[in-house]
């Protein structure tokens, strides 16, 4: 107990976040095991976790590094395709599902990190709106590039083309792994809620520890005052690149989760386009920029909301948008914040009066 | 202060619990397969995009299925069971499609008409196979859509259409130099193109130009048209949907390029495009299972009802969905389904009889199915003459 009191405020806040995730996990597991969970909810568990990881990882770029990135879905796309390709190719070689999935996740993280470095080197020289626009463009480029890839394997090895499947020139025994716009089909379904929650915890630990480290402080100093940071000898490009790459690689992990939850993987504007990037950004902004716990909660709520509104049929996207606007106002509008403060003060006053009386 | 925090925590937990439990309860009550007035029901689910860019296809499927359900219910239902139809939106996204499928499972769906689009269908088919739910896709044409034993389809598969088109052009000696303009970002289009190209070699057709476009730039086709023209194509094969095809026809006309045009079932609907000069579509040939202006009784009645109810002419997606409901009815009657069967039992009963039934529908007469889920029906080739389809 004493330890808890002397604990650093940051550490305490982080512990609350971890505890929250674990408690939520336990509650949900109880519902699943006792069979009280609807199949819709059960099917949503892994996607929700995927979006939580995406939101948390983007919060690193937006909240801690202070740069607006609109290409986050592109890194998710890289991770998704890299891991799905590995799983499909190794389906017969590695029998153990869990082992194969873990390797796939690592591959996703590494490949997305590589993409992050490649994109980061030119992009991070820019700042503000310019950076946002260029990341948006890179996100789209990644998606369109993957849409043009044809990859097959036969007895002679791998065949690659950017044109069509005939151009691969494979033997009769060949199988096409990536089929251009049709993407990858037949990814084994390995994503489970337990693995997803463990990945959320790992992401949170990585990000929280990074933020409270020497590197994290350097990154935040760049956010707060670039010139001052540079003048005390902080290598701006290096620290920016570190934060950006970690953010990208965690997005890749989320991509692996996504890919192994569905048997089909296509890079459509819907799932890996800028719509998705903006969606993740909405989670981050709504949850509070720089606030990891907020991102987790916002991602959970906003992923569940459209599905819970299914009863409203065609009106649900309309209602969803209205709810978004209201939530945004409630969280960020100065008037609302004043109003909230006033109400809180009033409640406190009433309580005090009650006690005194 | 501490008490208050604790209290709010407990309250939040309780709220979450009731939220989740509420969903669970819905599942329980869905087992009672009766309507409010006590008669037995058979629950059919449908999935398709009713919002977003592909909404036109999903809406058509929902409408087509609804008409069939209304007709069957008015005529006494399946084995005395009234059909209840529940349509869910998937926004043409595989993830949302699985959510829609799970929603329908909670509702107590006994058979699925869906999903409308190929990509989503592959994902949902895997889920349906795991749950052993009967799946009949009206328009999921990719090969993998029916990879599992429990999945069947109404439309032609992409490879079948590609091969049939190449054979038709080759055997009837229509053209020897062919250009293809296709949508490389679309599963349907690139699927047909690949098989067409493979079969074209066997038919002695030379593909002089194969020009792709993607969903991101499908308004200006001058480059593709110019290349086809320069290559000296006698015929342009368009395995695409009618919206883009109408633009291609108009732009080819402006460029002074007048080859023959040949398309697949995606071209059906081209005569209904707004502000499109239908004289441009004169002599366009297409393979389609359904023509809205066919003169048989069934089609006439369907088109009239559809027009009256939804104020537009149905396309082949609506016809496929209409047939799908009737196919389920035929199979259910053959299997002698009774009220209150679980989805898994329904699937076990329907799958073996699917290969035994023969259905006359809007999209083909005497349709039969093989065990792998493919339908067997003859594609109809039609030519547009004076603004209407005429059989070739």
Q: Are B122 and A47 in contact (CB < 8 Å)?
A: no
Greatest Cα pair distance, chain A, in angstroms, is: 90
Q: For residue B31, what pLDDT is reported?
A: 41
Same domain, A6 and A120: no
Query: Cα Rg for chain B, rounded, in angstroms?
Result: 23
Q: Which residue has the tokens 């990881």?
A: A53
Average pLDDT over residues A19-42: 91
User: At the topology level of CATH, where does B159-288 sit?
Assistant: Rossmann fold (3.40.50)
Residue A164 is assigned to a structural domain of this protein: no
Q: Is residue A155 part of a domain?
A: no
Q: Which residues of B touch A302 (CB under 8 A)?
A: none
Residues A14 and A119 in one domain: no
Domain extent at residue A16:
1-36
The verdict on A120 and A19 lying in the same domain is no
pLDDT of residue B21: 43
Judge if A68 and A200 occupy the same domain: yes
Average pLDDT, rounded, for chain B = 83
A22 and A90 belong to one structural domain: no
What's the mean pLDDT in B5-10?
Answer: 54
A47 has a chain B CB within 8 A of its CB: yes
Any idea of the CA torsion for A265, A270, A276, A279, to the nearest 10 degrees?
-130
Whether pLDDT at B391 is above 80: no
Examine the domain organization and report whether A130 and A253 are in the same domain: yes
Over residues A15-28, the mean pLDDT reads 94
Q: Distance between terminal CA atoms of chain B?
A: 83
Of the ranges A19-23, A127-131, B109-113, which one carries the lowest mean pLDDT score?
A127-131
ipTM value for the complex: 0.84
> What is the pTM assigned to this prediction?
0.85
If asked whether residues A122 and A228 sit together in one domain, one would say yes
- Out of A169-178, A348-357, B20-29, B101-110, give the one with best mean pLDDT: B101-110
A305 touches chain B (CB under 8 A): no
Chain B residue nearest residue A315, CA to CA: B51
Based on the fold, state whether residues A111 and A29 are members of the same structural domain. no
Same domain, A54 and A92: yes
Other Cβ atoms closer than 10 A to A318? 12
Domain boundary among A293, A327, A346: A293
Q: Is A37 on the interface with B (CB under 8 A)?
A: yes
Q: Which of A268, A293, A318 is the endpoint of a domain?
A: A293
**Predicted pLDDT at B171:** 85
Determine, yes or no, domain membership for A161: no
Q: Is B21 on the interface with A (CB under 8 A)?
A: yes
d(C-alpha B39, C-alpha B33), whole Å: 9
Q: Hey, what are A30's tokens?
A: 């109880």
- Whether A229 is covered by a domain: the verdict is yes
Mean pLDDT of B124-128: 91
Inform me whether the C-beta atom of residue B105 falls under 8 Å from chain A C-beta atoms.
yes
Structural domain B10-156+299-378, CATH architecture: 3-Layer(aba) Sandwich (3.40)
Average of pLDDT values for A242-270?
93
Q: What is the pLDDT of residues B19-37, one digit of tens each?
A: 444 444 333 333 444 444 5
CA distance A14 to chain B (A): 17
The pLDDT of residue B10: 53
Give the full edge-to-edge strand order of the sheet including B206-213: B206-213, B177-183, B235-238, B260-263, B285-288, B380-385, B388-391
Residue of B nearest to A264 (CA): B123
Instruction: For residue A326, tell me if it sits in a domain.
Output: no
Query: Is residue A300 in a domain?
Result: no
Angle value at C-alpha A295, between A294 and A299, nearest 5 degrees: 120
Q: Where are the domains of chain B?
A: 10-156+299-378, 159-288
User: How far does B186 lie from chain A, in Å, by closest CA?
Assistant: 6
**Residues B342-358: tens digit of each pLDDT:** 999 999 999 999 999 99
Question: Which chain B residues in 28-67 lie under 8 Å from chain A, judged by CB atoms?
Answer: 50-52
Nearest CB to A263; choose among B17, B101, B122: B122
Query: For residue B108, what is the DSSP state?
Result: T
| pLDDT in the model for residue B30 | 39
Residue A340 falls inside a structural domain: no
- One domain for residues A65 and A8: no
Give the tens place of pLDDT for each residue, B138-187: 988 888 888 888 999 998 888 888 888 888 888 888 888 999 999 887 77
**A227 belongs to a structural domain:** yes
Q: What is the pLDDT of residues B226-257, one digit of tens each?
A: 999 898 888 999 998 888 888 999 999 988 88
- pLDDT tens column, B92-104: 888 899 999 999 9
CA closest to A352 among chain B residues: B1
- Give the count of domains, chain A: 2
- Whether B10-156+299-378 shares its CATH topology with B159-288 is answered yes
* Rounded-to-integer distance, Cα B50 and Cα B42, Å: 23
Residue A182 at interface with chain B, using a CB cutoff of 8 Å: yes
């Amino acid at each position: 107990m004493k330890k808890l009191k002397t604990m650093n405020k940051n550490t305490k806040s982080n512990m609350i976040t971890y505890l929250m995730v674990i408690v939520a996990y336990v509650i949900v597991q109880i519902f699943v095991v006792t069979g009280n969970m609807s199949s819709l909810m059960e099917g949503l568990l892994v996607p929700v976790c995927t979006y939580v990881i995406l939101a948390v990882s983007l919060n690193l770029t937006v909240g801690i590094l202070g740069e607006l990135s609109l290409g986050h879905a592109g890194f998710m796309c890289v991770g998704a395709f890299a891991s799905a390709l590995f799983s499909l190719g190794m389906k017969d070689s590695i029998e153990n599902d869990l082992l194969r999935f873990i390797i796939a996740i690592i591959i996703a993280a590494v490949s997305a990190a590589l993409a992050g470095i490649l994109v980061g080197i030119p992009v991070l020289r820019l700042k503000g709106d310019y950076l946002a626009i260029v990341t948006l463009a890179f996100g789209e480029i990644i998606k369109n590039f993957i849409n043009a890839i044809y990859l097959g394997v036969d007895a002679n090895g791998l065949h690659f083309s950017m044109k069509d499947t005939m151009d691969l020139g494979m033997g009769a025994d060949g199988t096409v792994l990536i089929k251009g716009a049709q993407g990858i089909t037949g990814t084994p379904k390995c994503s489970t809620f337990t693995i997803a929650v463990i990945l959320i915890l790992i992401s949170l630990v990585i990000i929280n520890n990074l933020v409270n480290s020497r590197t994290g402080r350097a990154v935040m100093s760049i956010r707060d005052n670039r010139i001052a940071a540079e003048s005390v000898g902080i290598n701006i490009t290096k620290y920016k690149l570190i934060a950006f790459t970690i953010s990208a690689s965690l997005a890749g992990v989320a991509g692996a989760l996504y890919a192994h939850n569905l048997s089909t993987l296509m890079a459509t504007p819907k799932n890996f386009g800028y719509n998705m990037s903006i969606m993740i950004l909405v989670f981050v902004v709504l949850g509070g920029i720089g606030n990891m716990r907020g991102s987790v909660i916002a991602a959970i709520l906003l992923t569940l909301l459209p599905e819970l509104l299914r009863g409203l049929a065609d009106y649900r996207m309309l209602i969803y948008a209205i709810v978004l606007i209201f939530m945004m106002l409630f969280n960020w509008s100065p008037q609302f914040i004043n109003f909230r403060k006033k109400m809180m003060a009033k409640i406190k006053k009433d309580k005090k009066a009650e006690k005194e009386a | 202060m501490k008490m208050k925090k604790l209290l709010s925590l407990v309250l939040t937990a309780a709220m979450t619990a009731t939220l989740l439990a509420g969903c669970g309860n819905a599942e329980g009550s869905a087992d009672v397969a009766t309507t409010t007035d006590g008669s037995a029901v058979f629950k059919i689910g449908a999935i398709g995009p009713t919002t977003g860019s592909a909404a036109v296809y999903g809406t058509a499927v929902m409408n087509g299925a609804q008409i069939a359900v209304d007709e069957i219910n008015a005529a006494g239902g399946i084995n005395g069971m009234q059909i209840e139809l529940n349509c869910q939106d998937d926004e043409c996204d595989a993830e949302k499609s699985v959510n829609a499928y799970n929603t329908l499972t909670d509702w107590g769906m006994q058979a699925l008409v869906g999903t409308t689009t190929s990509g989503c269908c592959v994902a949902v088919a895997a889920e349906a196979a795991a749950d052993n739910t009967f799946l009949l896709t009206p328009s999921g044409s990719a090969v993998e859509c029916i990879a599992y034993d429990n999945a069947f389809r109404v439309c032609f598969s992409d490879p079948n259409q590609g091969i049939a088109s190449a054979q038709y052009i080759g055997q009837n000696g229509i053209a020897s130099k062919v250009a293809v303009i296709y949508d490389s970002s679309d599963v349907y289009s690139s699927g047909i193109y690949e098989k067409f190209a493979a079969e074209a070699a066997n038919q002695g057709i030379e593909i002089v130009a194969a020009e792709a476009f993607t969903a991101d730039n499908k308004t200006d086709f001058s480059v593709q048209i110019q290349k086809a023209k320069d290559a000296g194509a006698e015929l342009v094969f368009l395995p695409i949907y009618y919206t883009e095809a109408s633009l291609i026809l108009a732009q080819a006309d402006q460029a002074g390029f007048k080859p023959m045009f040949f398309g697949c079932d995606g071209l059906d609907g081209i005569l209904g495009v707004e502000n499109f000069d239908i004289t441009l579509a004169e002599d366009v040939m297409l393979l389609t299972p359904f023509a809205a202006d066919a003169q048989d009784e069934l089609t006439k009645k369907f088109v009239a009802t559809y027009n009256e109810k939804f104020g537009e002419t149905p396309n082949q997606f609506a016809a496929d969905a209409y047939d799908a409901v009737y196919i389920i009815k035929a199979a259910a009657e053959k299997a002698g389904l009774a009220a209150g069967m679980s989805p898994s039992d329904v699937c076990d009963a329907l799958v073996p009889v699917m290969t035994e039934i023969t259905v006359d529908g809007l999209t083909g007469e005497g349709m039969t199915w093989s065990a792998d889920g493919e339908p067997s029906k003859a594609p109809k080739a039609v030519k547009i003459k004076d603004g209407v389809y005429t059989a070739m």
